[in-house]
Every structure is written in structure tokens, then in C-alpha cells.
Structure 1
Amino acid sequence: MSSELHNPASTDNIKSAEDSWRLNYVTGNLFSCPEDEALAHCISEDIRMGAGIAVMFKKRFGGVPELKEQKKQTGQYAVLTRDDRFVYYLITKKKASQKPTYDSLRQSLEDMKSHCLENGVTKISMPRIGCGLDQLKWTRVAEILEQVFKHTDISITVYSLPEKAETKVMNENRRR
């Protein structure tokens, strides 16, 4: 055995993939993230993108016909390449009017992870996926993210908008 393995100085720069994975939180606009980071969000198989942050993704990146051509199903991801970055569309439900399951979210994240590993993606920015209009619980979603990505060197930054008092009151009074 080499003496280097026992020299603490030589192991300082060695990180296991489990140590490299990170889940970071930022308050701010998702679209202000560094341009070298991939983006991800959830959509339905019908690619409607008519509500929530999906509307902003549709306006900013277009590509609806390109996404439809990929013929992806629930539990998979579709992807666009824009300005040297990947924009991932996690397909978590069949129709826009439905709700995703934690299982469909996990499957689509696993599918996206494979693409990330094959293409050298190490940074992904996303909103609190599945937790807006789709009403999944963030604590469960964060656990799934950790389970899916913990043995990779992919770090994920989750963006949340600052909550305004009026928005909070409106959300509390909203009927669905």
C-alpha cells in the first residue's frame, strides 16, 4: 500500500461523489441563475404549460413543437438546448389538469440524472418542483432529490421568490 493513502494532506483534495452533491437554496428569480447551469421544472405530457412557472419557461425558451416531437411520457424528461445549456422538462403527469405523484417525479428525476451524467451536467437550477400548483410537499420532494442525486457530483440550486404579504393572503384564500 502506498504511503500517500495514509498521508492526510493527500486526501484533502479527494471528495467522494456523495460529498460533492449539494442542495442549495436561493431567494430570487430562477432565470437570474448563472448561464452555465441547466434548468429544470415540471410539466405534463400534453405540454400545455399554461400556468405557474411553466408559462415563463414557454415564453423564454419556446420549443413546444420540439418538446412534442420527443414524445416523452410521464416519468421521463424532455430537453431543449438553449445558449449552451440544457433546459429540462420533467414530465410528472399525463394532463395539465392532473396532479403528479412522488413516484412520477422520482422517475423523471432519475431519467434526467442519466442525461446529466452522460452530458457532464454538474449544476441544475430549479424552482421548488411539484410544490406550486401541483401541491406536493417540499420536504418529500427534497428527500427525493437527495435520494436521486446523492451519489453524483451534481449540485442543485432551488430558487424561491420572496413571498409578498398580499400573495400569502391570496394563496390562503384561494379555492381549488
Structure 2
Amino acid sequence: MSSELQKPVNTDKPAEDSWRVNYITGDLFACAADESMAHCISEDIRMSKGIAVKFKNMFKGVDDLWNQYKLAGQCAVLKREQRFVYYLITKKKAGEKPTYSNLEGSLKEMKVHCLANGVTRISMPRIGCGLDQLQWERVEEILEQVFRDTNISITVYSVPETAEATVTKGKRRR
């Protein structure tokens, strides 16, 4: 027998750079039904603006989120059919702006949950970069730092620009 066949295979840690980020322009809510999803919310769980409203209406569970007693920098989780839905707590109150530190903490907590539950695919918007105004380049760096030692694939959805948005993009309000 060849000595190579006798060498044990290390299955504890995925190969370096086995994680990846994919980018899609389209509807986040059209992702596969067995793919986990993530987005950012505030500790007060208001979810009254932006994509958070769609998450609240689609997955319900506000009381379940409240009962997890999560703080900024942590991650609340709902199990819905074949997927987990991750609520990244990035700020204390809805009217505040998130911090990169809170985002990183919540992503680390999500990673721990993913690894413990066999989650290998997560779909998300450009987290923290819509109404919360974080810079995507920095968020992307944090995603890489947190997930680079995993086999978790992250698909980031961007909303397609409408013709109306493109026309009004350059106009200023007076």
C-alpha cells in the first residue's frame, strides 16, 4: 500500500480560502428555501424601515426575538422551515447608526451558530450599507476576516437600479 493512502486526512478545518462571497443583483427573498438568511436590526427590534420590514412580515417571530434578550454585537436567530434567519444586532436603537465593532461581533456569533448547525450557505443584503450607511468595502473586509476559515458561502444581494432611480440619482433636493 502507498504511504499516501495511510496518511490521515484532517477534516477539522476546511481548506484555506474555501469560503467565498458571491454577488447577485436581484431579489434576496427569491434565494433557495433551504438557504439561511441574515440582515441587521437594532436591539429594540423595531424593524420599521428598509429591508427589515420585509423580514418582519415574512418570518414573523418578533416575540421570539425579544425573548432571546440579545444586545448590540450579538445575533438573534429564528428557525423557519429549512433555514435559519439571522438577525445581526448592530446598534442599540433603531434611530442610531451601527458600529463596525457591533457588526463584527454579531457576525462572529452568527458564524459560531452556523458551524454548530451545519449551515454552509447564507444570503444577505449589503448588510449595514443601506439605511445604516456603513461602507461596503469595510463590511466586506469584516466578512472575510470572520468567515475565511470556514466553508460557508455568502451570497450578497443588491437591488437592481430602476430607471427612475438612475434618473433621479444625480438630482439634489432643495
Same fold (TM over 0.5): yes
Structure 1 consecutive aligned stretches of length 4 or more whose deviation exceeds 4 Å: 168-175
1:3 partnered with 2:4: yes
Q: Percent identity?
A: 66
> 1:59 maps to what in 2?
57
Aligned counterparts of 1:85 and 1:124: Cα–Cα separation in 2: 9
- How much has 1:165 moved relative to structure 2? 3.4
- How much has 1:173 moved relative to structure 2? 5.5
Question: In the superposition, relative to structure 1, how do residues 101 and 154 fare at CA in structure 2: closer, same or farther (>3 Å)?
Answer: same
Q: What secondary structure does 1:126 align onto?
A: strand
Question: Could you list the runs of 5+ residues in structure 1 that have no partner in the other structure?
Answer: none
Aligned counterparts of 1:47 and 1:172: Cα–Cα separation in 2: 33
Q: Which has the higher helix share?
A: 1
The one-letter amino acid paired with 2:111 is K
Q: Give the root-mean-square deviation of aligned CA atoms.
A: 2.1
The structure 1 residue matched to 2:165, chosen from 142, 146, 167, is 167
- How much has 1:4 moved relative to structure 2? 4.6
Question: In the superposition, relative to structure 1, how do residues 4 and 142 fare at CA in structure 2: closer, same or farther (>3 Å)?
Answer: same
- How much has 1:97 moved relative to structure 2? 0.1
- How much has 1:18 moved relative to structure 2? 2.3
The one-letter amino acid paired with 1:50 is S
Contact 1:24 1:157 in 2 (8 A): yes
Q: What secondary structure does 1:19 align onto?
A: coil
- How much has 1:170 moved relative to structure 2? 5.0
Superposition pairs for residues 25-104 of structure 1, below 5 Å? 25-104=23-102
Aligned counterparts of 1:169 and 1:71: Cα–Cα separation in 2: 44
TM-score, L = length of structure 1: 0.88
Question: In the superposition, relative to structure 1, how do residues 120 and 164 fare at CA in structure 2: closer, same or farther (>3 Å)?
Answer: same
Aligned counterparts of 1:98 and 1:163: Cα–Cα separation in 2: 26
The one-letter amino acid paired with 1:100 is P
- How much has 1:38 moved relative to structure 2? 0.4
Contact 1:17 1:150 in 2 (8 A): no
- How much has 1:171 moved relative to structure 2? 5.7
The one-letter amino acid paired with 2:112 is S
The structure 2 residue matched to 1:140, chosen from 132, 138, 141, is 138
The one-letter amino acid paired with 1:116 is C
- Number of aligned positions between the proteins: 168
Question: Could you list the runs of 5+ residues in structure 2 that have no partner in the other structure?
Answer: none
Question: In the superposition, relative to structure 1, how do residues 107 and 59 fare at CA in structure 2: closer, same or farther (>3 Å)?
Answer: same
- How much has 1:17 moved relative to structure 2? 3.2
